[in-house]
Each structure stands twice: as structure tokens, then as C-alpha cells.
Structure 1
């Protein structure tokens, strides 16, 4: 889904280095295609943590002038080095922006995670639909009669809960923030703490953007046969290192043990719709892709004069795209 954006950048004469933010989402055929177009790549399916760190170091050694990231791994590493060549960057995720908070950035980074069109379309609706489409397609199971616990009631969690109910699930919502639990209760959801809901779940899905939301202690209380699924922005929302005897029973579904419990892990604990599916629907991703390309146009502009630090993407960069999409009545960029 990112190929058209990168084709556009390469066709305009840019030099491009491609590395993954989450190795579980890498498509080797896409990497090969981009390499054939002239991009420098350091990505392959099955990379481990050391491989990802090596990719980040190699990318910084390549001396980039601009970055376009999901997760801010490159910017965080750049901030730990003296000097550097980066002049400006883009960041697409809340998790990435959280990593940048408190860093002494030497260049501006523009966040487009909280744009109204991203929050109202991608976060609120599309993630939930694609998550459950992917799960049901890969497992050949439906959610009918299942007790689904959604962890996190931000915009993505809200959409995931609604889509789970539409797919037949009996849904409860857990959130560590009492204000969000109250919001979920006002919306008609059964709510509670994760500790109080987890033991009765047939499937737990995380949508928090935080690491190790599902801890060893919590997973040891789950009923046998429970499925674990990550739909959030962090690849380690599930503490998969606590799971033993992992064995793939069908593609993207592993049977695991924790203590005397047998549970099932979907997509290795990586972001489900990206690791096991095809990501966003193409027509919906058009707008996202258009905003990304427009954002790249902003950061490479010779007239760019913003102070170092994190900034929201300016309205003039994306509003014209949103207006054209609204006129067409569908979320498609131009």
C-alpha cells in the first residue's frame, strides 16, 4: 500500500533508504520491487531485534537529510548521536511521538497521527474493520458467541469494539483510565479493569500503544483456549517472551503455553492487520498516502523554517486533500 507513495518520491529524483518499523510486517516482494526501482533497503521478513537495530544504524550512516517514520526509531537513535544530517522529519504514530517527548531534537518533526482525517477515518473506523477481517480470514473462525475483551478505549479501541460486535462478538472494554472506562460505559459497553475481565475472555485484543499491556502475571490467569491479538501501535503490547512451547498450527496462529494454560497467539503478537493481512483497503489508504506525500513535500521545501521539536502537520498541507475526498464522498486522495 505504500508503493505508490515511494514510487512518486523516487520518480522525482530522491534517494530513498527503506527500513522497517516492525519486522513482522515486512513483505519481501515489496522490498525487492523498491530495490529494483533504485531504493536502498535493509529489510526482510523474519528480522530480529538485532537486525532492526543494525538497519537503524546503517540508515543513519547513509546520512539521510529527511525522515518519514512510523515509530520514530530512527529519530530516537539520531537524538542519541552528536551532530547528524537530518533536517526535518515526519512521524505517523502516537507511539512514535511519545518516544520523541523529552528528547532534544535538533530538527522539526511533524506529527500527522492526530489530524482529524486520520483520527476520524483511520483510527476510528478502518483499523477495527481490517483487524477483524484479517483475523476471521486467517483463522476461518467467526466471533459469534465469543467474549471479546478490548484493551484500550481510544479512537482505535472504540472502532475495534464496534467492529467486533458487528462480527458477532460479545464485547467488554478495559482501560486503565477511569475517564475512558466511563466513556465506554456511557456508550453502552460492559467495562471493567483488565484483571477483572481477562479470566472470562475468549479473545483479548490490545489497542493501547503501550508495551507489555498483557503481562506474564495476567496471561497466567487466562482460560485455556483464549486468543491473544495485538491491534495497537506497539509491536510488543503482548509480552510474548512469557509464552513457551510455541507451535504454529495454521499460518499466523501459534499454540502456546503459559503455566498450565494453553492459549493461542495471532500474528506473533505483531500488529494483526499488517503482519497477517494486507493493511488498509486501497481506496481508504489513498487519503493517508496523499497526506504522507504532501508532508514530504513540506519537509523538503527550501522555505521550511520551523524550530526543532515536535509540531502538528500544518492545516494547509492536508486540508485540500480532505476537501477533494469529501467532494467525492469516499476516502480517496487525488
Structure 2
């Protein structure tokens, strides 16, 4: 049972998260996680607190670590007082301390894992193979994490099944496209006081997060340039109306450069050398995207006018602003709480249902698996119900026609063709 009060950091997001409220009520009755330990690694925001509350309501003993630079003191205090949840992070802990906290979590041999970036999952296989062998299943919700897991899967090292929550349509088209873009824009403008309209904005990567950000920047009046390594995504960016250039050719004209890939080394030393005077640089994908060490090595002076803002003065006279030291800007910015609650409501509902499927006996081979379509559709249906939107039902005759595959006489007549 949750012991939240009206003053808790979670109470406000709970009101705007109908799916997670419903999950908690369901799981409190069915207790799918009874006698199970769930290990969670995620930014310790109010949204994550609500997700952990759902797992505890389902009977789980929850162990949780945060992510570097994203722990909220009020959320940690709330978790400390919450029955069934044990936080292993503290505010301001170093990366080394955070890694030790993850080791402490894995040493407890959890039955299920929920990850954000595959930090727990990779560490489990690297240092805790016996604990990994006993994990029933896991869920991963980020692009960067899935990239790491794809490599592990291709190398045949995954010892338990993992649901690719990031690949689910409800995650891709809402959390990634809209949630990340809107929360990141809010953080960018609050930290810099910049005017987007009329600026030149470079977006590194045209995955779901990158395209969402590029669209919203252009809608606000920015001239958008996209950089890509995938020719198909580059063509999509061109077709969507963005200019496409290599990063080295894009940054000299940029007022704003934002990496959005979750992959290593997107903005490197050669790009930093070419950045325009006055440019603002940030990441919305992962801290590994920007070579922050090169910033420090190349600069002649660094000033920090306010939290989350570092101004690097280079010997040639240029000044470049790096936001949140290259950490994910919508989480690491002061008062950054990640994506909006209505978006995290759907993503954590997907995560909760995925974990429940493993707890209830989903029998999958070790490796990376798509989240079941039935879960994705159920979450979409619940979300529509929650916001009061009705949709059509497929009539029996249309369903029968769609499932028909054999050729029949007269089947090409216009009256029998499926509407297009």
C-alpha cells in the first residue's frame, strides 16, 4: 500500500497518470509480483516513483538505483518512507558510487529487471553471471539501451529474455517523438533564454527522438539541419523538409547543436573545432554522445554562470555553451523531471505490463524480444478510454475479408474489394 500524502512529489503526477493508477489498483488485487524482487535502474524523477509504486502495489520488493545527475532529493526521501521500495542511490553520488549501488542491487539476485540504458543488464552479464542466470526477464525502455542489447544479442551473451519496450509503437510514436522533444525544448530554452525562431538548429540523428525535436524546432521557426549516418533516415529527413549535411559541415552555421542518437561519439573533437562562436550544445540521447573531455582539453577557460550551464572559451576567441555537462538535458537540468506525465504514463504502463508478463510465466528464450503487440494495443486502448476518445470497431465481414487469402471467383469485383 502506498503511504503518499498530498505533499508527496508523486501525488501531483499520479493525478495525470490514469494508466498507472489503474495498474496499481489491478496489481494490488492480483499481486503478480508477490514474493519477487525487482531491480530497477532509472532516473529518480516523480514519474519513476509512481512506476515503482505500481510494482510495490503488485507485491514486489523493489530495489532501485538512479542515473548519474538525475536523482531528486524529494523523490528519494519519499522512496525511503515507502513500504516495499529500497532506494540505493543518494543525491549527488559520483559515477563510481552509482556503479557500486548497481552492484549492490545485483548482488541481491533480483528476479526481474527494469532498465534505462541497459546499465543493469550489461553489468549483470559482465560481473554477476550467476545472478543473471536466475533472472526471469527484463524490460529496457531506451534507444541507447536497446543498441547495447542488440550487440549482446547478436553475440549470443544474453542469458535471459528482454522485452524491447523502446521498440513498441506506443513508446516510439509518443514518448520518443513528442515527450522527449517537448521536455528537451523546455530545458534548452529555460537554461539559455534563447529564441528558437530564426535560429539555425542542428539535430544529430533522425531516429524517433531526433525527428520529433527537429519537427518542433522547425515549427517554432528554426532553420533545421539534420545529420545522419543511415541513408534511409537521411532521405526521410530530406523528405520532411530538413536540410541534411555531415556534422562537420553543419556545425559552423549552428546556433544550437543537439545530439539525439544514444550512440557514442556523435560530436567529436573535429566538430568542436568547427563550432560557431556562441553556439549552444546539448544532448537528449546520452552522455556518451558528446566528447566532453575534448571540451575541457581544448578550452582556455571555463565559466559556469548558473547551474547546468558551462561556457567554454577557446584560444581562437570562440565561446561555446555546453548544457548539463553533456548529460541528457531534460533530466539533468535543474528541476528537470524528464518527459511530461501523460507520456510517461504510457511508457511505464508498458514496462509494468511487460514485467507482469514475465512474472506470470511468459516462456521466452534468452535474447531480445519485441514487446507483445497485445500489450501495446491494450495500453493504447486504455489511454483512449482515459482521454474519452472512441474509435471504430472492425465489423465481422471486414475482418473475414481481411483474413481471406485464397482466390475466389468474383473476388476482384469492386463491391467485394476492401475499401482503400
Shorter chain as denominator, the TM-score bin is over 0.9
Q: For residues 328 and 33 of structure 1, do their structure 2 counterparts lie closer, same or farther at Cα, with a shift above 3 Å needed?
A: closer
- What RMSD, in angstroms, separates the aligned Cα atoms of the two structures? 1.9
Residue pair 2:144, 2:261 contacting (<8 A) in 1 also: no
Matched, 1:153 2:211: no
Correspondence for 1:43 among 89, 94, 102? 89
Q: Aligned residue for 1:313? A: 371
Q: Aligned residue for 1:223? A: 276
Report the CA distance between 1:251 and its aligned residue.
Answer: 2.4
Q: Aligned residue for 2:327? A: 270
Correspondence for 1:207 among 257, 260, 263? 260
Q: Distance in 1 between matches of 2:280 and 2:106?
A: 38
Report the CA distance between 1:144 and its aligned residue.
Answer: 2.2
How many residues align? The count is 328
Residue pair 2:282, 2:329 contacting (<8 A) in 1 also: yes
Residue pair 1:79, 1:103 contacting (<8 A) in 2 also: no
Q: Which runs of 5+ in 2 are unaligned?
A: 1-46, 390-420
Report the CA distance between 1:259 and its aligned residue.
Answer: 4.7
Q: Distance in 2 between matches of 1:4 and 1:199?
A: 43
Q: Aligned residue for 1:30? A: 75
Q: Distance in 2 between matches of 1:108 and 1:170?
A: 43
* Matched residue SS, 2:287: coil
Report the CA distance between 1:192 and its aligned residue.
Answer: 0.9
Q: Aligned residue for 1:241? A: 293
Q: Aligned residue for 1:60? A: 106
Higher mean Cα deviation, 196-205 or 45-54? 45-54
Q: Distance in 1 between matches of 2:238 and 2:195?
A: 25
* Matched residue SS, 1:2: helix
Matched, 1:283 2:342: yes
* Matched residue SS, 2:225: strand
Q: For residues 134 and 57 of structure 1, do their structure 2 counterparts lie closer, same or farther at Cα, with a shift above 3 Å needed?
A: same
Q: Aligned residue for 1:82? A: 129
Residue pair 1:205, 1:229 contacting (<8 A) in 2 also: yes
Matched, 1:8 2:8: no
- 1:122-165 Cα offsets, whole Å, 9 max, x none, are 11222212211221123322212211111111121111011112
Report the CA distance between 1:60 and its aligned residue.
Answer: 1.2
Report the CA distance between 1:120 and its aligned residue.
Answer: 1.3
Q: Which runs of 5+ in 1 are unaligned?
A: none
